[in-house]
Amino acid sequence: WLYKHRDNPYPTKTEKILLALGSQMTLVQVSNWFANARRRLKNTVRQPDLSWALRIKLYNKYVQGNAERLSV
């Protein structure tokens, strides 16, 4: 979802509910996941002029260890 909506990575409440049902997570867990993913992308890739799509690709390229990769 994040990569498909890379131009606006903020799901609506309805989209979050559907994602929660499909992933067996709560609405709060889904909301927190998106907030954390956006924060990781913003803090890891410190080039403010990059699009979200490029941030995701760069983040996944350099993530190490047990860090969660963002799905494409």
In a domain, 69, yes or no: no
Q: What is the CATH number of the domain that holds 23?
A: 1.10.10.60
pLDDT at residue 72, as a whole number: 47
In a domain, 15, yes or no: yes
Domain limits at 23? 2-62
In a domain, 20, yes or no: yes
Task: Give how many domains the chain has, as a whole number.
Answer: 1
In a domain, 72, yes or no: no
Judge contact between 43 and 63, C-beta under 8 A. no
In a domain, 67, yes or no: no
* pTM for this prediction: 0.64
| Closest to 2 (Cα-Cα) out of 28, 39, 27 | 39
38-59 pLDDT tens trace: 887 777 767 767 777 787 777 7
DSSP 44-70: HS--TTS-HHHHHHHHHHH--TTPPPP
Q: What distance in Å separates the CA atoms of residue 3 and residue 6, rounded to the nearest whole number?
A: 5
In a domain, 68, yes or no: no
